[in-house]
Structures are given as C-alpha cells and as structure tokens.
Amino acid sequence: MELPTQTFRVTRADLVRYAGASGDFNPIHWSDRTATKVGLPGVIAHGMFTMALVGRAVAAWAGSPDAVVDFGVRFTRPVVVPDTDEGTEIVVSAVVKEVTEAGLTRLDVTATCHGEKVLSQARATVRTPR
C-alpha cells in the first residue's frame, strides 16, 4: 500500500535557520563560491535537515511523532538549493512493507529532488494506528 506523497519546499532561508539551530555553519550550506570550489554543483541542504523533513513525513503518516519507533537513511545525493525565492522541493513517498502481529508497520521511504533519489535504504517502523 502506498502512502500519500508529501512535498517540502527548501529555500536558502531554511538553510540559514537550520544552521542556527544546529550550529552547522559549514559554508557549503550558504556560499555558492565555497560549494563549487569543493566540487559541489552549488549550495546544498544539510543532510540532517533533509532527514528531518523525511522524518516529519513519517511522523505525519504515523499520526504522531511518538509513534515512530525506528527511522534510518543513507545519504546518496545532495539536495542542491538554488538562490531563488522558490528554492527546491523534496518529495517524500512511502510504501507499507509489513504490518506485524506486534502492532508495528514497516515502511520503505523514498525521497527525491527533481526526480532523483536523495536517500537510499530509507526505512521506518511505526506503531500501527489503532
């Protein structure tokens, strides 16, 4: 069973706010000059910010954040965030892989940006809503 797709807009302003909250002020997250100098296509979103957005989708599907029992991902591709008002979008989808007798639902999660997967092995286990 497929769960409803969720879309998250990411702008440079979001990256600045996340940097302030996380303390990660690495210039690859705000400076095109630095990002391209180290071989990136441009400013990229923090990996943990991307994971947090996907976690927000999982919590919404589960019905509440405390229903998320386990959540893990591998980062495969950076999310490039252009210096525009629109920024970019991360699209998150999931498929129910299993519902256990113990009342847990296992999800395979997909996150894409411009049609390209940005995470691999993205999986979550949530308490099955009753």
Q: What domains does the chain contain, in order, with CATH numbers?
A: 2-127 (3.10.129.10)
Structure pTM?
0.94
Q: What is the mean pLDDT of the chain?
A: 96
**Cβ 104 vs Cβ 127: under 8 Å:** yes
- Least Cα distance to 81 among 26, 115, 20, 35 occurs for 35
Look up residue 30 and give its two tokens: 């705000």
Percent of the residues in the chain that have a pLDDT greater than 70, as a whole number: 98
Look up residue 110 and give its two tokens: 């997909």
As a whole number, mean pLDDT of residues 105-109 equals 98
